[in-house]
């Protein structure tokens, strides 16, 4: 439930980031997220079904076209960028740890 709440909060915050006026209510964003995300069940590459579903639901609920598209694309970009940054940092830490372990193993060989 926390993951869902924070993911919806990121989408709502994306509307703040693109300076949407008037800002859609949080309930509208929740409904658009949940119903629009069902488009993700359509097997299309690059989450096109999810993006189209969310944008379509936001427009249906009265959000302007431009801010709806921009906010959903920003939401998707953040959703892709966070794991890449976290994974890259973890990879660098793992390489450093393995390098240290390899040196220790090499130094302890008879």
The reply to whether 101 falls in a domain is no
The reply to whether 95 falls in a domain is no
User: For the chain, what is the domain count?
Assistant: 1
Token representation of residue 36: 């629009």
Q: What is the DSSP letter of 54?
A: H
Find out whether 67 and 11 touch, Cβ atoms under 8 Å: no
pTM, 2 dp: 0.77
pLDDT of residue 36: 85
Residue by residue, pLDDT tens for the chain (110 residues) are 898 899 999 999 999 999 988 989 999 999 999 888 887 777 878 777 888 889 999 999 999 999 999 999 999 999 889 999 999 999 999 999 998 888 888 888 66
Token representation of residue 70: 């921009």
The reply to whether 30 falls in a domain is yes
3-state SS, residue 83: helix
The reply to whether 46 falls in a domain is yes
> Which residue in 26, 16, 24 sits closest to 75, CA to CA?
16
The reply to whether 59 falls in a domain is yes
Q: Which domain holds residue 35?
A: 2-81
Find out whether 48 and 73 touch, Cβ atoms under 8 Å: no
């Amino acid at each position: 439930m926390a993951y869902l709440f924070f993911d919806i909060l990121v989408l709502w915050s994306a509307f703040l980031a693109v300076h949407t006026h008037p800002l859609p209510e949080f309930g509208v964003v929740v409904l658009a997220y949940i119903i629009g995300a069902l488009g993700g069940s359509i097997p299309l590459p690059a989450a096109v079904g999810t993006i189209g579903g969310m944008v379509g639901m936001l427009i249906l609920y009265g959000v302007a076209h431009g801010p709806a598209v921009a906010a959903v694309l920003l939401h998707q970009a953040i959703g892709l960028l966070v794991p890449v940054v976290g994974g890259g940092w973890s990879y660098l830490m793992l390489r450093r740890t393995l390098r240290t372990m390899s040196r220790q193993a090499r130094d302890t060989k008879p």
